[in-house]
Amino acid sequence: MQSVGKENFKVPEKNINIQAQKGTWFSAGLICRDGLACSRQRICGWKTFCHSLFSAALSILMFVQGCASVSRQTVLNLGDPEPETRMAAARTLGRTKDPGWMPNLMVLLQDPDPEVVQSAVLALGSIKNPGAVAPLIRLLNHDDPGVRYVTEQVLIGFGSEAVVPLIASLKHVDVHIQEASARILGKIKDPSALPPLLVVFGSPFPDRVRIAATIALGDLGDERAVGPIMEALYEKASPGLHEIPHALAKIGSVVVEPLIRAVEDTDLEVARLAAKALGEIKDERTVEILIGALEKEDPFLSRAASDALIGIGEASVISLMQAAAANESARQVAVTTLIAIGAKAVPPLFIETASDPTRFESLAMDVVPAIGVSAVEPLMSILKEDNLFTGDLAVRLLSAIGSPAVPFLTEGLKTEDLAMRIRCAKALGEIGDEKGVTPLVKTLEAEEPEMRDASAEALAKIGKPAVLPLIRAMEDPESPIQSLAEATLRKIGAPAVESLIGLLNRADVNIQEKVAGILIENGASAVPGLIEHLSDSDPVIQSRCSDILVQIGEPAVLPLVQLVEIQDPDRLWRAVKALAEIGDPAAVGALMGVVSHRSPQVRYFAVQGLGKIKDPKAIPSLVDSLPDRWAGRQAAAALAGFGWGPKTQAEQLYYDLALSDRRATPEATLAREILLSDLRQGDFRKREFALHALMELFQESIVSELIFILQTEGSQELGILFIESGFKSLEESGLVWLKAHAPDAFLDALGARLFWNTP
């Protein structure tokens, strides 16, 4: 290896060329000819010495050349093994904007690390010396996409100074460089690039290059390109066909006329591409021709025309409306297009609809709600207009939009304009969103009666969500809207029933009466809820619901009859009682069906109801109810009202016993015989009636005979009747018999006895 000293350094003119010849320590230890870091093993012990010596020499050189703005370390860093260090050095040199550093940066264009290459490219872009253009063009086919992208941006930054080399590179052997060059020429927008780009556009270059040329011609925006591009529009083999509409659109309005002609071409592909270009140009002159294309049978052309009209926007709205009204086949596409135009379509659409509602109102109802929340603001502006029809139309459209309009409408309730506030309240009522309840309840306090009425009507339409706030206002004696809240609850009807029923046990009688009044006024709509609560856990509510059903009257009869027919054990007796008190002839069949029910309450009210209704069909059922301990007196009274008379000795006995309390006499032998027979063979009603009648008529004299019947002919039912008779001598006998013959019934009876006797 050569000795190293000051005599080995030759001072370059301006730049410091750190590329050395093979065989020197410089090439072995720092940078090879291709810029790659070499093995440090070859410099061994010389490294420290050589580095110190080189640094000293470089300092002197930089002082002599006046380049003190760039440190010696920066230049040394260009050969550092760490990519980040080389990148930082490149950026530093780029900031100097000194062309003298270009050779050093050129070396980094071959760096193996793509990020280092990008830094060098950006640095050359900062210096912007034309001498860098050709080396940069060679990077347009670099393997790394980041390098290619940065290089393109830097070359665009060179502007017209890069045009000639780029034009030359259109004929480069590498197709990637051709393609990128065409693309960059379009971005630079230098008119001198037009002829060569037209050559590439129309010549047998690779498809990707011709496509890039098509894009570039659009970027140039030169009118001279219109003719060749339009010709290519009609050539199906053109590789850049899908880019032609974009290119034409970029050139601008000068292409409108030829594109209008192309939209009418019989070749549907040409027509679609032309429509697409017109959509990007957004020239209002093209609306009518695009409307015509919209009505064509070809769905792709129709879609292209629709997209173009969407691009044009508001200016196409009226024509779209007219097309939709005139041609049913184009209506759906027109509706879809208007929806896509969005909020900008609302004002002209509304104006046209207001001027000719018969023709356009259904179209507006299809379009505006589908536009959604963005349509609300223009509609809110229309609400302010002092026009009855347009205001009502805006209300209908806002109502159709639904919940998204609610925040705007609640704000509208705060305006000073009474007409607008009333319309907002009306719309909130139609929408029915619970978010409108609180603002509407607040406006019930408005000074203007028209506003109060509008708010009450809106709350009534919202229904159930408004019930609880209105109930709170009705219950509050200090509330200024107490009466109005009550009136609104009356209007709400069925949705308020459940909550109102819960107030029937209030200690405040005034509230109870108000609630009952509302429920009665609601009539049929309140009946299902009232019937449901006949089995409420609170007996007060049960009783009040039954009373209200009676006051509702005829609308409650059929539901009550249906309840009686299914014989729901939890609600049956109250349903029968209500029917009995209503006294509607439609209930006769249901009441006759339960006169022999096990429940004394059910039998009592059923017979009472039949007596009140006075339908002759009920006479047999009433006669059958005479031997009934609980309902017999009611049956006898009812039969007396019919003018009925007993037909048999048994009927006479039952009738007399039901109407009197007389005791047995020696002449009562027949009564004894009939009652004992009933005790042995009758149904449960006659057995119970006979047992109590015998005890009342014959008292202790009959006890031994009754006990004998139980012991010899007894049954579980008779044993239970003895226990429940209320006569101690019979109770004990009944328990003994059940214990011996029906243990389960005995335990049940004993448990019941203990329960009732517990203090």
pLDDT at 425: 95
Do the domain assignments include residue 751? yes
CB atoms within 10 A of CB 471: 20
Q: Tell me: the pLDDT tens digits for 613-660?
A: 999 999 999 999 999 999 999 999 999 999 899 999 999 999 988 887
Same-domain check for residues 613 and 673: no
pLDDT at 670: 87
User: Which residue carries 């490149």 as its tokens?
Assistant: 90
pLDDT at 22: 28
pLDDT at 20: 31
Q: Which residues contact 505 (CB under 8 A, 6 or more apart)?
A: 538, 540, 541, 544
CATH code at position 638? 1.25.10.10
pLDDT at 34: 36
Q: Tell me: the pLDDT tens digits for 522-571?
A: 999 999 999 999 999 999 999 999 999 999 999 999 999 999 999 888 99
Q: Tell me: the pLDDT tens digits for 403-453?
A: 999 999 999 999 998 999 999 999 999 999 999 999 999 999 999 999 999
pLDDT at 388: 66
CA 144 to chain centre: 46
Q: Which 8-state DSSP code applies to residue 616?
A: G
Q: What distance in Å separates the CA atoms of residue 277 and residue 266, rounded to the nearest whole number? A: 17
Do the domain assignments include residue 293? no
Q: Tell me: the pLDDT tens digits for 214-262?
A: 999 999 999 999 999 999 888 877 788 889 999 999 998 899 999 999 9
Do the domain assignments include residue 606? yes
Q: Tell me: the pLDDT tens digits for 586-608?
A: 999 999 999 999 999 999 999 99
pLDDT at 194: 95
Same-domain check for residues 593 and 680: no
Q: Tell me: the pLDDT tens digits for 17-51?
A: 333 332 222 232 223 333 333 333 333 333 333 34
263: nearest Cα among 305, 219, 235, 318? 305
Q: What distance in Å separates the CA atoms of residue 755 and residue 753, rounded to the nearest whole number? A: 5
Q: Read off the pLDDT of each residue in 482-496 and give the average, rounded to a whole number.
A: 93
Share of the chain above pLDDT 70, in %: 88
Same-domain check for residues 686 and 641: no
Gap between the terminal Cα atoms of the chain: 124
Q: Tell me: the pLDDT tens digits for 362-416?
A: 999 999 999 999 999 999 988 877 666 788 888 999 999 999 999 999 999 999 9
Q: Read off the pLDDT of each residue in 343-348 and give the average, rounded to a whole number.
A: 92
Domain, as residue range, for 582: 572-652
User: Which residue carries 């007993």 as its tokens?
Assistant: 646
Give the relative orientation of helices 572-582 and 600-613 as an angle to the nearest 10 degrees: 20
How is 328-376 classified by DSSP, letter by letter? HHHHHHHHHHHHHHGGGGHHHHHHHHHH-HHHHHHHHHHHHHHHGGGGH
CA atoms within 13 A on the CB side of 7: 2
CB atoms within 10 A of CB 239: 17
Same-domain check for residues 635 and 696: no
pLDDT surpassing 60 at residue 715:
yes
Do the domain assignments include residue 546? no
Top pLDDT among 197 and 752 is at: 197
- Quickly state the pLDDT bin for 744 (edges 50, 70, 90): confident
Same-domain check for residues 623 and 678: no
CB atoms within 10 A of CB 695: 18
Same-domain check for residues 621 and 692: no
What is the residue-averaged pLDDT of the chain? Answer: 85
pLDDT at 15: 37
Phi and psi dihedrals of 2, rounded to 5? -70, 155
Worst-scoring range by mean pLDDT, 56-60, 222-226, 258-262, 499-503? 56-60
pLDDT surpassing 70 at residue 113:
yes
What the block records as the tokens of 737 is: 């018999």
pLDDT surpassing 60 at residue 518:
yes
Do the domain assignments include residue 596? yes
Top pLDDT among 759 and 304 is at: 304
Same-domain check for residues 632 and 703: no
Q: Tell me: the pLDDT tens digits for 126-138?
A: 999 999 999 999 9
pLDDT at 237: 74
Same-domain check for residues 406 and 453: yes
Do the domain assignments include residue 548? no
Q: List the beta strands (DSSP E) in 338-494.
A: none
pLDDT surpassing 60 at residue 688:
yes
Q: What distance in Å separates the CA atoms of residue 155 and residue 721, rounded to the nearest whole number? A: 114
Top pLDDT among 57 and 155 is at: 155
Query: Of 462, 483, 500, which residue constitutes the final position of a domain?
Result: 462
Do the domain assignments include residue 537? no
Q: Read off the pLDDT of each residue in 321-335 and give the average, rounded to a whole number.
A: 87
pLDDT at 55: 43
Alpha-helical (H) ranges within 203-327 are 207-220, 226-233, 244-251, 256-263, 268-281, 287-294, 299-312, 317-326
Do the domain assignments include residue 744? yes
Query: Of 622, 652, 682, which residue constitutes the final position of a domain?
Result: 652
Q: How far is CA 529 from CA 502, 509, 525, in A?
A: 11, 21, 8
Q: How far is CA 135 from CA 96, 105, 110, 625, in A?
A: 20, 11, 10, 120
Q: Which residues contact 259 (CB under 8 A, 6 or more apart)?
A: 248, 274, 277, 278, 281, 286
The tally of domains found in the chain comes to: 3
Q: Would you say 700 and 726 are in contact if contact means Cβ atoms under 8 Å apart?
A: no
Q: Which residues contact 680 (CB under 8 A, 6 or more apart)?
A: 709, 713
Cα-atom radius of gyration of the chain, to the nearest Å?
A: 52
Query: Of 441, 462, 483, which residue constitutes the final position of a domain?
Result: 462
Same-domain check for residues 583 and 648: yes
Q: Read off the pLDDT of each residue in 179-197 and give the average, rounded to a whole number.
A: 95
Same-domain check for residues 704 and 643: no
pLDDT at 751: 65
**This prediction's pTM:** 0.65
Same-domain check for residues 706 and 628: no
Same-domain check for residues 597 and 667: no
